[in-house]
Chain A
């Protein structure tokens, strides 16, 4: 087992993965306040899980696994919205007239579309958007390569439709 005895080492790892943590939190939770809270939960989970890392997989895979399972834990505890309410909540997040930059607008549209994917498809999509290979995704989620392929195909199809719908 690898021991991350120094807090500074753990903090460095969290800082290194913070952009991914931040994006995953937004991908799983569209409500801004809860999204920030989820990102913090993810950081805390990584901190606590690093001592349990036993090199059975790469550190990258392990960290993504912790990130995505923390998101599931968050859904378990904070999923208080029905699908309809969810749509209303995300509608508030649609690009506002003040959003001048086209890039930011497109990012919000992508985020909204990702948020609307069913959980099983959202998980693979979020990992694929982070450039993980299918093998890595199967390692993170504990599902077969073939299953990843199928989910990814469906996720891409649904994402295309959602993006067309938004545009």
Chain B
């Protein structure tokens, strides 16, 4: 391709039709709304952790069976560890997002996507662990105490929900890795 041909391409490119320019005030409002939703999500997660912790503490006073106590204990430790690790990674991402670097440096994007991959991998491992513990809990409960049909259905539904969530996490993780590869190509 010689210079003349490229100049023709360049003028062809620059003559393409423009998109409609957005109203900046509406755009800024939408951005603020997104930040608000992000904060609400963090609050919901925190509330869920607190609720499980409360149940765990309550289980000591309510003479819950050992199996149930172990289960609630596991859920509390699992939730807290996940929340702390996730929040740490999120904070690191938020730092990059707040700095001007994101608009000016490709390296900042790489770090962000690596953080995202870490969070998805963590979610995958945590969900495997949760599914394993959930299965152990279900089997133990049915083995030592009686299991009704209703409980069996609840167990199956919970397992399906967890499997769907796991499939979602695996897909997200795979996509994030593809994006990192694209950024590094």
- Name A's B-contacting residues (CB within 8 A): 7, 10-11, 14-15, 18-19, 22-23, 25-26, 35-36, 39-40, 43-45, 47-49, 52, 62, 65-66, 69-70, 72-73, 75-76, 79-80, 82, 103-104, 106-107, 110-111, 114, 118-120, 128-131, 141-142, 156-157, 159-160
Given contacts A23-B13, A79-B175, A106-B12, 20 further A-B contacts (CB under 8 A): A14-B21, A14-B24, A18-B18, A23-B16, A36-B19, A39-B19, A40-B22, A43-B27, A44-B24, A62-B104, A69-B104, A69-B108, A72-B106, A73-B112, A76-B183, A103-B15, A107-B17, A120-B185, A129-B10, A131-B14
5 closest cross-chain pairs (CB), A and B: A52-B100, A129-B13, A22-B19, A66-B103, A49-B103
Question: Cβ of B103 and Cβ of A65 under 8 Å apart?
Answer: yes
CB of B9 within 8 Å of the partner chain = yes
CB of B144 within 8 Å of the partner chain = no
Q: How far is the CA of A111 from the CA of B14 in the complex (A)?
A: 11
Q: How far is the CB of A80 from chain B (nearest CB, A)?
A: 6
CB of B37 within 8 Å of the partner chain = no
When C-beta atoms are compared, the residue in chain B nearest to A56 turns out to be: B104
CB of B129 within 8 Å of the partner chain = no
Question: Cβ of A129 and Cβ of B14 under 8 Å apart?
Answer: yes
Checking A39, A43, A107, A118 against B12 with a beta-carbon cut-off of 8 angstroms, the contacting residue is A107
Interface flags, B165-185, vs A, CB<8A=1, else 0: 000000000010011001101
Q: How far is the CA of A25 from the CA of B14 in the complex (A)?
A: 13
Q: Which bucket holds chain B's interface residue count?
A: 35 or more
Q: How far is the CA of A120 from the CA of B181 in the complex (A)?
A: 11
Q: Number of contacts between A and B (CB, 8 Å)? A: 116
Q: How far is the CA of A69 from the CA of B99 in the complex (A)?
A: 13
Checking A10, A26, A40, A49 against B16 with a beta-carbon cut-off of 8 angstroms, the contacting residue is A26
Question: Cβ of A69 and Cβ of B15 under 8 Å apart?
Answer: no
CB of B162 within 8 Å of the partner chain = no
Q: How far is the CA of A49 from the CA of B99 in the complex (A)?
A: 10
Question: Given the known A-B contacts A25-B19, A107-B16, are A76 and B112 also in contact in the complex, defined by CB atoms under 8 Å?
Answer: yes
